[in-house]
């Protein structure tokens, strides 16, 4: 038979590997499908192969997904590496250009070794020789060079006091004083000790002498300039001209008396003084005297440092970016280990998992830690993020700043926004903005633009940030000058600072007689916001949002801040546009309308896009005045029509090349989302909190108490507050009288709390919601039992949970008095079923008034074993007679629920 005629066969174990499943699982499936196979090494036909793949299609999808995430991660890492390399090179270039006269003073360790080893004692090279070592990158020994600590002029953090003692211990070379000032590399410290101390001292002495010689030479040169008028090289002007000079003169003065080289003496004071002067010179801002420039430099420095630190952390691969509920095999792929390793670790941690079982968030964190990684959870959107090409330098242009207004309640945020929106001063045209739009652009000084996010308060700002969208460039902090710095003012400061967004302070209500701006400035300085007039870095403007005073000046300050930030956007018409969803709403006629803040490129009518989990095609773009426009560029807020579904604030809108691509990506995100929703069960449960406490995942048990009376609440709250141990305390986040409502359930869901119902029950909607949210709602009728359960739970001693399973409920619609028997209820079965031996509780307005068993259950005159929903029946309760029309009887049974791990 020809080879190609033979049917293609597949080994079960190979298929299992491809699907990242256990071979046994696949074998079982094949057997179920009637395949005649003996073991996992058996072969199956193509048809069976396809059957397996279609049966395990979800697993296949996940495998593909993980591979893709991994590929993207690798891409990202290499980009980061490239980025940090570029930053390093840029910094080096900057250093070189900023100190043109300076000798390339960073020496490689080898170069230095040579200096030390080959230079004869007492024959230390003259200053020109010191200037010889070549720059780091040029000698191709950057790795070696990195192990040194170059003292870089721009790193103004070097503490001369700290440097001085180290001078005695480490090999030091100094540049000539001509290099002082500006961003200059002064020398290197060889941290690799191990050299003979004497030698080092000697070498150091020699270098110090040479340095002193240079001082003298320089001073002599200067003297020559004075006397002969000859043109000689002067030291750079920066570096606090005056002071270093006097030091130099002083040292020169002393030195002139003796011969330089013969009896070299180390004057450590001179050296440290020079280092100090140099550094203070650097801090003086390269002599330009412009505080703004200096602030900008400092900010840029800080940003760069942060970026580098982030890049380094990432490039060291200490962070594993993973979606919640990843399976062992996905996690294994991301960390470059085998799924077996992960499963073994899980066993060691007391968790029994299979290769495709979804792990919970806490387990992922623990396992990652075991492998030396920090788990960073990403959403399905991030996992499938569209990685944009880097912006080409020529496409970048200055863009308008995006501003958010924050401040305490009633301090005038809305008034300021309203004034800006309506005023001709800034809007530049009459009429102002009447349309409601989550963001709008205003024109200041005729041609300069500012985009305002119309979401006053830090909640919206933080909510967006929580979704990874950092859109705000500048925060205007409104503080009422007739009031004080308030808790929300502090919160706003903290939120802005946490996001690294600069603040411009607006002291509002200055028109009021009680206004006391100075008091506010003092309070602000105590809160870490020192205004410019007081020598701080925060710009401040007194305004009256009501009367329109100082608003133009405030806008001017915002623009200055923006200038300092050098905000740029990609204005290329070629790049696929992207933006952030600021807010969305569903309009009956138009469908979904979203306010989009374009961030990159131009969003055009007709563009297909994805936005979070949804997609669409731009049908129309409108500006803040409701005027249709064909396209919108960076920092431009527009209303966009054409979404298939409602996107969320903070979602990124990305233009795709084709509709098909957009649909594929959105579908992919939806699949992951569904998977997550399906697996989501991270709710705090009383019977599993001991484990969470042990793992350090819980520090506080949040509780909501609903009870029948105030007295019970008080008793419960007092008792619960006393139950706490060193690791965890009980926090009652809400308490109230009456039945458990949907609001209680929502609060519990939002704050990961458990609900304790004391002689009360949830209403129907609350019950459904609690089930949907998988919340732990517990019902008690004895206070002691509540306290006992919580106490035991905290200690991890909670016995197997006796779980209550609701069977059904009925309503009492009539009450009959039957002689000798008592009151009998004529009832209607609302839902579920009731059984003769069911446990029951009687509820009046949601509050439990009886708990026990049925005395009788009848249909017409006959005793019955059960009654279904929709039927009428009669019942009486054991040892309880006080039933009323409208009461609800709930039937339930107690089942033992296995405790979770």
Ligand X SMILES: Nc1nc2c(ncn2[C@@H]2O[C@H](COP(=O)(O)OP(=O)(O)OP(=O)(O)O)[C@@H](O)[C@H]2O)c(=O)[nH]1
Asked if residue 584 binds ligand X (CB under 6 A), the reply is no
Q: Is-contact 441 402, C-beta < 8 A? A: no
The verdict on 456 binding ligand X (CB under 6 A) reads: yes
Report if residue 423 touches ligand X, rule: CB under 6 A: no
| Length of the chain counted residue by residue | 901
544 in contact with ligand X (CB under 6 A): yes
Least CB distance to ligand X at residue 530 (A): 23
Question: Known binder of ligand: residue 508?
Answer: yes
CA 885, CA 716: separation in Å to the nearest integer?
31
Give Rg (Cα) of the chain.
Answer: 37
> Is 413 annotated as a binding-site member?
yes
In the bound complex, what is the minimum distance in angstroms from residue 547's beta carbon to ligand X?
6
For the bound state, the minimum distance from the C-beta of residue 405 to ligand X, rounded and expressed in Å, comes to 8
Q: Is residue 508 within the footprint of ligand X (CB under 6 A)?
A: yes
511 is a contact residue toward ligand X (CB under 6 A): yes
Interacting residue with ligand X among 11, 205, 497, 546 (CB under 6 A)? 546
The minimum distance between CB 513 and ligand X, in angstroms, equals: 10
- 553 touches ligand X by CB under 6 A: no
Q: Is 49 annotated as a binding residue?
A: no
In this chain, which stretch among 207-215, 391-399, 542-550, 584-592 interacts with ligand X, using CB under 6 A? 542-550
550 forms part of the interface with ligand X (CB under 6 A): no
The tokens of 210 are what?
A: 């040479």
Query: Which single residue is written with the structure tokens 């869901």?
Result: 749
State yes or no: residue 412 binds ligand X (CB under 6 A). yes
Q: How far is CA 638 from CA 386, 450, 607, 625, 759, in A?
A: 22, 14, 14, 10, 53
Among 170, 465, 509, 706, binds ligand X (CB under 6 A): 509
Residue among 340 and 547 whose Cβ is closer to ligand X: 547
For 846-861, the DSSP string reads TEEEEEEEEEEEEETT
Going from the C-alpha of 509 to that of each of 82, 155, 198, 458, 548, the distances in angstroms are: 51, 42, 70, 21, 10
Q: From residue 410, how far is each of 406, 505, 660, 799 by CA, in Å?
A: 11, 16, 49, 52
Contact pick of 113, 205, 512, 679 for ligand X (by CB under 6 A): 512
CB of 486 to ligand X, least distance (A): 11
Which span (544-552, 560-568, 588-596, 736-744) binds ligand X, by CB under 6 A?
544-552
Closest of 269, 276, 231 to residue 250, by C-alpha: 269
> How many C-beta neighbours within 10 Å does residue 629 have?
16
Residues in region 154-173 near ligand X by CB under 6 A: none
Q: What whole-number distance in Å separates Cα of residue 812 and Cα of residue 830?
A: 10
Report whether 232 belongs to an annotated binding site: no
Q: Could you identify the residue written with the tokens 């019950």?
A: 767
Query: Within 792-811, which residues bind ligand X (CB under 6 A)?
Result: none
Q: Cβ distance 255 to 215 under 8 Å? A: yes
Positions 392 through 411 that interact with ligand X (CB under 6 A): 407, 409-411
803 is an annotated ligand-binding site residue: no
Minimum distance of ligand X from residue 155's CB (angstroms): 42
Please tell me the number of Cα atoms within 13 Å of 281 on its side-chain side: 26
**CB nearer to ligand X: pick between 95 and 495:** 495
HEC secondary structure over 374-435: EEEEECHHHHCCCCCCCCCHHHEEECCCEEEEEECCCCCHHHHHHHHHHCHHHHCCCCCCCC
Q: Shortest distance, CB of residue 766 to ligand X, whole angstroms?
A: 31
Closest distance of CB 432 from ligand X, Å: 16
Q: Is 458 in the site for ligand X (CB under 6 A)?
A: no
Which one among 545, 701, 770, 824 touches ligand X, defined by CB under 6 A? 545
Total site size for ligand X, rule CB under 6 A: 16
- Which of 66, 148, 415, 614 lies at the binding interface for ligand X (CB under 6 A)? 415
Residue 55 annotated as part of some ligand binding site: no
Rounded to 5 degrees, what angle do the CA atoms 31, 34, 36 make? Answer: 70
User: Does the annotation place 510 within a ligand binding site?
Assistant: yes
Q: Could you identify the residue written with the tokens 């059960």?
A: 866
* Residue 436 among known ligand-binding residues: no
Q: Which two tokens stand for residue 25?
A: 């699982």
Find the shortest distance in angstroms from Cβ 505 to ligand X.
14
**Binding residue per annotation — 408?**
yes
228 known ligand binder: no
Which of these segments, 91-99, 122-130, 180-188, 541-549, binds ligand X (CB under 6 A)? 541-549
708 is in an annotated binding site: no
591: left (phi over 0), alpha (psi -120 to 50) or beta: left
List strand residue ranges (DSSP E) for 98-191, in order.
Answer: 149-152, 171-174, 185-190
Q: Looking at beta carbons only, is 190 or 542 nearer to ligand X?
A: 542
Interacting residues toward ligand X by CB under 6 A: 407, 409-415, 456, 508-509, 511-512, 544-546
Q: What residue numbers does the annotated binding site cover? A: 407-414, 454-458, 508-511
Query: Which residues belong to the annotated binding site for GTP?
Result: 407-414, 454-458, 508-511
């Amino acid at each position: 038979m020809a080879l190609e005629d033979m049917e293609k066969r597949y080994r079960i174990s190979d298929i299992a590997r491809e699907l990242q499943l256990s071979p046994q699982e696949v074998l079982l499936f094949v057997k179920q499908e009637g395949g005649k196979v003996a073991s996992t090494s058996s072969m199956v036909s193509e048809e069976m192969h396809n059957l397996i793949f279609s049966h395990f299609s979800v697993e296949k999808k996940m495998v593909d997904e993980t591979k893709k995430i991994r590929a993207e991660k690798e891409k990202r890492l290499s980009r980061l590496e490239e980025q940090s390399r570029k930053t390093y090179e840029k910094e080096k270039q900057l250093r070189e250009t900023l100190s043109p006269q300076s000798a390339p003073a960073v020496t490689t360790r080898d170069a230095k070794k040579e200096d030390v080893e080959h230079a004869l004692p007492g024959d230390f090279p003259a200053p020109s020789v010191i200037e010889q070592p070549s720059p780091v990158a040029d000698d191709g020994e950057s790795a070696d060079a990195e192990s040194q600590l170059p003292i870089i002029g721009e790193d103004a953090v070097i503490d001369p006091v700290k440097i001085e003692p180290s001078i005695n211990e480490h090999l030091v070379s100094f540049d000539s004083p001509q290099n002082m000032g500006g961003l200059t590399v002064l020398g290197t410290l060889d941290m690799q000790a191990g050299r003979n101390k004497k030698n080092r001292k000697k070498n150091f002495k020699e270098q110090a002498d040479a340095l002193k010689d240079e001082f003298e030479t320089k001073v002599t040169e200067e003297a020559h300039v004075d006397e002969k008028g000859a043109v000689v090289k002067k030291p750079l002007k920066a570096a606090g001209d005056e002071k270093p000079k006097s030091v130099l003169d002083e040292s020169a003065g002393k030195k002139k008396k003796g011969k330089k080289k013969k009896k070299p003496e180390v004057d450590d004071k001179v050296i440290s003084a020079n280092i100090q002067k140099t550094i203070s010179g650097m801090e003086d801002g390269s002599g330009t005297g412009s505080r703004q420039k200096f602030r900008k430099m400092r900010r840029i420095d800080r940003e760069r440092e942060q970026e580098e630190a982030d890049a380094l952390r990432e490039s060291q691969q200490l962070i594993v970016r993973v979606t919640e509920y990843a399976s062992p095999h996905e996690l294994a792929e991301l960390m470059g280990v085998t799924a077996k390793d992960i499963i073994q670790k899980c066993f060691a941690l007391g968790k029994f998992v299979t290769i495709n079982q979804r792990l919970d968030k806490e387990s992922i964190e623990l396992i990652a830690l075991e492998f030396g990684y920090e788990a960073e959870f990403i959403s399905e959107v991030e996992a499938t993020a569209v990685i944009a090409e880097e912006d080409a330098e020529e496409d970048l242009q200055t863009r308008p700043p995006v501003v958010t207004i924050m401040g305490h309640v009633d301090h005038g945020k809305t008034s300021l926004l309203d004034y800006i929106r309506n005023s001709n001063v800034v809007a530049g045209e009459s009429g102002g903005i009447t349309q409601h739009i989550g963001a709008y652009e205003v024109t200041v000084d005729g041609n300069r633009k500012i985009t305002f996010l119309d979401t006053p308060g830090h909640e919206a700002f933080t909510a967006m940030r929580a979704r990874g969208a950092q859109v705000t460039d500048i925060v205007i902090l409104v503080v009422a000058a007739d009031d004080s710095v308030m808790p929300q003012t502090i919160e706003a400061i903290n939120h802005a600072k946490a996001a690294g967004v600069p603040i411009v302070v607006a002291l509002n209500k200055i028109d009021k007689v009680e206004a006391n701006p100075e008091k506010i400035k003092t309070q602000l300085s105590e809160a870490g916001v020192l205004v410019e007039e007081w020598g701080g870095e925060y710009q401040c403007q007194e305004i009256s949002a009501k009367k329109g005073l100082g608003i133009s000046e405030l806008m001017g300050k915002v623009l200055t801040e923006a200038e300092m930030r050098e905000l740029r956007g990609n204005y290329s018409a070629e790049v696929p546009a992207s933006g952030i969803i600021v807010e969305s709403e569903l309009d009956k006629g138009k469908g979904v309308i979203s306010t989009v803040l374009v961030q990159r490129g131009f969003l055009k009518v007709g563009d297909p896009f994805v936005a979070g989990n949804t997609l669409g095609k731009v049908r129309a773009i409108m500006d803040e005045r409701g005027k249709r426009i064909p396209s919108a560029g960076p920092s431009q807020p527009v209303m966009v029509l054409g979404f298939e579904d409602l996107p969320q604030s903070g979602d990124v809108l990305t233009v795709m090349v084709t509709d098909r691509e957009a649909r594929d990506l959105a579908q992919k995100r939806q699949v992951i989302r569904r998977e997550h929703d399906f697996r989501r069960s991270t709710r705090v449960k009383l019977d599993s909190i001991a484990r969470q406490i042990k793992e350090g995942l819980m520090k506080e048990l949040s509780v909501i108490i609903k009870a029948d009376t105030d007295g019970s609440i008080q008793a419960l709250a007092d008792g619960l507050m006393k139950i706490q141990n060193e690791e965890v305390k009980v926090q009652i986040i809400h308490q109230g009288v009456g039945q458990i409502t949907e609001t209680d359930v929502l609060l519990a869901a939002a704050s990961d709390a458990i609900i304790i119902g004391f002689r009360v029950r949830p209403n129907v909607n609350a019950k459904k919601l609690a089930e949907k949210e998988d919340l732990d709602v517990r019902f008690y009728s004895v206070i002691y039992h509540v306290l006992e359960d919580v106490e035991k739970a905290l200690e991890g001693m909670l016995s197997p949970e006796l779980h209550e399973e609701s069977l059904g409920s009925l309503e009492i619609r009539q009450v009959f008095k039957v002689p000798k028997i008592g009151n009998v209820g004529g009832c209607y079965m609302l839902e579920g079923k009731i059984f003769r031996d069911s446990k029951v509780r009687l509820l009046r307005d949601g509050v439990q008034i009886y708990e026990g068993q049925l005395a009788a259950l009848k249909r017409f005159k006959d005793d019955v074993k059960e009654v279904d929903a929709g039927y009428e029946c009669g019942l009486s309760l054991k040892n309880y007679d006080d039933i009323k029309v409208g009461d609800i009887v709930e039937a339930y049974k107690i089942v033992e629920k296995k405790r979770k791990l």
